[in-house]
Amino acid sequence: MSQPRIAVRLLDDRLREQLPAYASPGSAGMDLRACIDAPLTLQPGQAELIPTGLAMHIGDCGLCAMLLPRSGLGHKHGVVLGNLVGLIDSDYQGPLMVSCWNRGSAAYTVQPMERIAQMVIVPVVQAQWEVVEHFDATERGAGGFGSTGAH
Ligand SMILES: O=c1ccn([C@H]2C[C@H](O)[C@@H](COP(=O)(O)OP(=O)(O)OP(=O)(O)O)O2)c(=O)[nH]1
Ligand SMILES: [Mg+2]
């Protein structure tokens, strides 16, 4: 599959040297940096909206971007996303922001240009509803949680 080209505006000059990039040939995500001027301390339970210094316009309704926590930051320091997952619409053109949430029990200080989250470009299918009275039968039917066996 050819790599889509996505329009990006650099809202902060530091991004010229540090544009988000895939860290290895097999990376799924690009790390996003905290484009802040001074260290920012997140107290336990605190969430702050942090600019990434860029705006992007995906421009293709068959794609979106998803923002995810970085595993190390989330597991070791409890710093994840305040919205759990960030969903970036293909028509959004505003500044890309990361809601950084300290769900841990110790304060954590985010440094300027620290990598705080990762962004994955994901295919999207926009579906249409087809309103029906009944569904074609399936093996599961309406069986919900735990209905497929004893274990
Ligand atoms: O972590 C995030 C999540 C969203 N956005 C931007 C891009 C997205 O397209 C827009 C709206 O996000 P979403 O639809 O999730 O928020 P909403 O609360 O439904 O707002 P809206 O009414 O603007 O759709 O905000 C970010 O910059 N960072
Ligand atoms: Mg929305």
Domain ranges of the chain: 7-123
Residue 78 to residue 76: CA distance in whole angstroms: 6
Instruction: Tell me which of 121 and 2 has the higher pLDDT.
Output: 121
- E strand or H helix at 73: helix 71-77
Enumerate the known binding-site residues for substrate: 70-72, 83, 87-89
Say if the ipTM goes beyond 0.90: yes
Q: How many CB atoms lie within 10 A of CB 148?
A: 10
Higher pLDDT, 48 or 148: 48
The angle formed by the CA atoms of residues 9, 30 and 3, to the nearest 5 degrees, is 75
Architecture of domain 7-123: Distorted Sandwich (2.70)
Pocket test for ligand 1, best of 70, 89, 116 (most atoms within 8 A of CB): 89
| Bridge partners, 117 (sequence order) | 32, 69
Of all protein residues, whose CA lies closest to atom 24 belonging to ligand 1?
A: 89
Annotated binding site: 70-72, 83, 87-89
| Stated length of the chain | 151
Residue 149: pLDDT band with limits 50, 70, 90: confident
Could you tell me the pLDDT band of residue 150, with boundaries at 50, 70 and 90?
low
